């Protein structure tokens, strides 16, 4: 029993937490490494996929690879507030840039050129946030002109350190949006600015991660975005990769938990290869096994309890935000044989006529799918069909009591 206390549960199902073993993702990593070989940036990266598929984890794994290859790296999560206005996205970029520029001392001649020093001053200026903001504010023109000039000045200073380039890595980038009604175009400005400086040979690369709604939003904002990005879609892990994710973290001889082949197969089946679910289920299984071993009982996987907890922790919050009528629509979708792949409007309309007292019209389905897309529950793919943005959501919906969905008269 001493080893059970020494060896802690290695599985980490938190949002964006690095797993004890990163299974699979070799092809995606090789594609990122290929982009690092660009001297002139012709392709940026969009890393996309469903929630829980490991986008944030893989983005974090890219960072040391880039740094090892002599690239600089900045970035953060893109909150909705960063995309409210053109000024906000500019402040976001300036703040992130200052992380890698604040230790750069500007020569007096350079400070004079950008309006910071007179001939009599001997103050030492660094390229900190205050300096960057002053360069930005003192540049005439539109926001895009100000940002372009700022990035050119930054690269002129950074290039003296001889890095290969600078990567701007932003997670949750599906929050980016233009706001036509308010004459604010932060997303379009971001794309315009990076396309412009990349055409000038400045090696600043965008790496954006987000839900599958991200890339269509980029193309809608600027059609050239289709040629500007290499889209990498993260799928679930294969059976072999899933087993590695399950078994590698407990290979240590001090680990008190040993899984049989049947137990591993059960976890693979329950998780369906989604990395977050593997971490969640394995954490629960580990704790359950340790408890049973400690009292001399034969360990087994508490499937019903794990599924119930997963429903509460992962799915319930999203389900609670849906209206009764939206739940009725989602229930119809969950009854489609292809619900976990993709589905069309006409399929939903046809099935609703069979199972609902108040079926849906095509216009109503389109309207509701648009609302559900904005809520991050579904997304529209490039073939005009829709898919769930949340893995295994169809199975969760099927587990709900029909009475709570109010599908008969909703």
Q: Would you say the C-alpha torsion 80, 82, 84, 86 has a positive or negative sign?
A: negative
CA–CA gap between residue 371 and residue 363 (Å, rounded) = 13
Q: Which residue did the predictor score with more confidence, 258 or 206?
A: 206
The residue-averaged pLDDT of 37-61 equals 94
pLDDT at 116: 58
| pLDDT at residue 184 tops 70 | yes
So what's the pLDDT on residue 344? 92
pLDDT of 149 strictly over 90: yes
Torsion of CA 125, 127, 129, 135, to 10 degrees: 90
- Structure confidence at residue 119 (pLDDT): 56
Binned at pLDDT 50, 70 and 90, residue 410 comes out as very low
319-363 pLDDT tens trace: 888 888 899 999 999 999 888 888 999 999 999 999 888 899 999
Question: What pLDDT score does 4 carry?
Answer: 46
- What is residue 103's predicted lDDT score, i.e. its pLDDT? 87
Indicate if the pLDDT at residue 81 is higher than 50.
yes
Please give the average per-residue pLDDT across 388-410, as a whole number: 72
Q: Which pLDDT score, from 0 to 100, does residue 229 have?
A: 96
Asked if the model's pLDDT at residue 84 lies above 80, the reply is: yes
Which residues in 307-328 are b (16+ Cβ under 10 Å) and which e? beebeeebbeebbeebeeebbb
pLDDT score of 340? 85
The predicted model gives 49-61 an average pLDDT of 92
Residue 408: predicted pLDDT: 46
What pLDDT does residue 373 have? 87
pTM for the complete prediction? 0.85
pLDDT given for residue 409 in this prediction: 46
For every residue of the chain, which 3-state class applies, written as one string? CHHHHHCCCCCCCCCCCCCCCCCCCHHHHHHHHHHCCCCCCCCEEEEECCCCCCHHHHHHHHHHHHHHCCEEEEEEECCHHHHCCHHHHHHHHHHHHHHHHCCCEECHHHHHHCCCCCCCCCCCEECCHHHHHHHHHCCCCCHHHHHHHHHHHHHHHHHHHCCCEEEEEEECHHHCCCEHHHCECHHHHHHHHHHHHHHCCCCEEEEEEECCCHHHHHHHHCCCHHHHEEEEECCCCCHHHHHHHHHHHHCCCCCCCCCCHHHHHHHHHHHCCCHHHHHHHHHHHHHHHHHHHHCCCCCCCCHHHHHHHHHHHHHHHHHHCCCHHHHHHHHHHHCCCCCCCCECHHHHHHHHHHHCCCCCCHHHHHHHHHHHHHCCCEEECCCCCEEECCCCHHHHHHHCCHHHHCCCCC
Each residue's pLDDT tens digit, 236-262:
999 999 999 999 999 887 888 889 999
For the stretch 360-396, pLDDT in tens is 999 999 999 999 988 888 888 767 789 998 888 998 9
143 pLDDT higher than 90? yes
Q: Quote the pLDDT of residue 389.
A: 87
pLDDT tens for 278-307 read: 999 999 999 999 888 878 788 888 899 999
Mean pLDDT calculated for residue range 157-181: 92
Please provide the average confidence, as pLDDT, over all residues in the chain. Answer: 88
Looking at the chain, the whole-number percentage of residues with pLDDT higher than 70 is 92
């Amino acid at each position: 029993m001493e080893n059970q206390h020494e060896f802690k549960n290695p599985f980490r199902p938190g949002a964006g937490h690095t797993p004890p073993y990163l299974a699979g993702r070799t092809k995606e990593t090789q594609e990122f490494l290929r982009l690092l070989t660009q001297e002139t940036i012709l392709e940026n990266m969009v890393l996309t996929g469903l929630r829980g598929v490991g986008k944030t984890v893989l983005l974090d794994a890219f960072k040391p690879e880039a740094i090892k290859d002599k690239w600089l790296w900045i970035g953060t999560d893109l909150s909705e507030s960063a995309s409210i206005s053109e000024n906000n996205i500019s402040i976001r970029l300036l703040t992130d840039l200052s992380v890698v520029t604040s230790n750069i001392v500007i020569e007096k001649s350079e400070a004079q050129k950008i309006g910071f020093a007179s001939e009599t001053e001997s103050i030492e200026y660094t390229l900190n946030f205050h300096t960057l903001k002053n360069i930005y504010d003192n540049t005439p023109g539109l926001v895009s002109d100000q940002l372009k000039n700022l990035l050119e000045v930054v690269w002129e200073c950074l290039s003296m350190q001889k890095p290969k380039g600078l990567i701007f890595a932003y997670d949750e980038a599906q929050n980016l949006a233009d706001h036509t009604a308010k004459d604010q175009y932060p997303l379009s400005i971001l794309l315009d600015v990076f396309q412009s400086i990349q055409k000038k040979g400045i090696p600043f690369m965008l790496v954006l991660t987000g839900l599958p709604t991200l890339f269509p939003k980029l193309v809608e904002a600027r059609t050239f975005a289709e040629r500007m990005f290499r889209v990498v879609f993260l799928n679930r892990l294969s059976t072999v990769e899933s087993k590695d994710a399950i078994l590698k973290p407990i290979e240590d001889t001090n680990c008190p938990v040993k899984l049989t082949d049947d137990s591993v197969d059960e976890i693979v089946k329950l998780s369906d290869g989604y990395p977050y679910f593997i971490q969640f289920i394995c954490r629960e299984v580990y704790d359950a096994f340790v408890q049973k071993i400690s009292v001399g009982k034969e360990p087994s996987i508490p499937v019903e309890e794990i599924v119930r907890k997963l429903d509460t922790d992962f799915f319930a919050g999203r389900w609670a935000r849906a209206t009764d009528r939206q739940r009725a629509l989602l229930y119809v979708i969950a009854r489609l044989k292809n619900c976990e792949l993709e589905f069309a409007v006409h399929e939903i309309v046809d099935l609703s006529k069979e199972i609902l007292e108040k079926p849906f019209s095509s216009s109503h389905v389109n309207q509701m799918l648009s609302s559900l897309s904005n809520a991050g529950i579904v997304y529209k793919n490039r073939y005009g069909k829709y898919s769930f943005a949340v893995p295994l959501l169809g199975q969760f919906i099927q587990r709900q009591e029909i009475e709570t969905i109010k599908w008969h008269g909703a």
